[in-house]
Homo-oligomer: A and B are copies of this chain.
Amino acid sequence: MAGETEWLEPDELATWMSLAALMFKLPGVLDYQLQRDSGLTHFEYLVLAGLSESPGRSRRMSDLAGFANGSLSRLSHVVKRLEQRGFVDRRPAEDDGRITVATITDSGYEVLVAAAPGHVTTVREYVIAGLTPEQLAQLKVIADQILSRVDPGKPC
């Protein structure tokens, strides 16, 4: 961090403040709604959703972790809890014993299906509904551009 620091211009700062506030508040309202109505965290929801849309309703752990934007360790803990609740099964892959394959159970699928409408409605209400189609397109481009710097590994 040597050299001159380029401080943020007022408009840059304002944008950053707004984005930062958004980043702190949005997860909260999403988690709150899901937790209250379905007993799931947003991360758990993503995990179940990721499984449900995969072939065989199954997916290997690292893959799921990437999908849900979490660490492998975090996923491991979460999947263990989901397994204890009967929403997910876990077993080693046949061809490579290092790999663990998680599968959503019928009861997990039911929970997901019950949770989805409320979650989607919440996302629509808070995020989508307030934006014009043009802004929606702008937002995708912007988010992807920032993402590509934050996490160059995963192309969009």
Q: Which residues of chain A have a CB within 8 Å of any CB of chain B? A: 1, 5-8, 11-12, 14-16, 18-27, 29, 37, 69-70, 116-118, 120-121, 123-131, 135-151, 156
> If the complex has contacts A69-B25, A117-B5, A129-B149, are A15 and B124 also in contact, measured as CB distance less than 8 A?
no
* Structural contact, B156 and A18, CB atoms closer than 8 A: yes
Q: How far is the CB of A46 from chain B (nearest CB, A)?
A: 8
Q: Identify A23's interface contact among B27, B121, B135, CB under 8 A.
A: B27
Q: Identify A146's interface contact among B1, B6, B127, B150, CB under 8 A.
A: B127
Q: Which residues of B contact A118 (CB under 8 A)?
A: 1
* Structural contact, B16 and A147, CB atoms closer than 8 A: no
> If the complex has contacts A12-B136, A136-B11, A142-B131, are A125 and B147 also in contact, measured as CB distance less than 8 A?
no
Q: Identify A125's interface contact among B11, B69, B149, CB under 8 A.
A: B149
* Structural contact, A130 and B117, CB atoms closer than 8 A: no
In the complex, residue of chain B having the shortest beta-carbon distance to the beta carbon of A1: B118
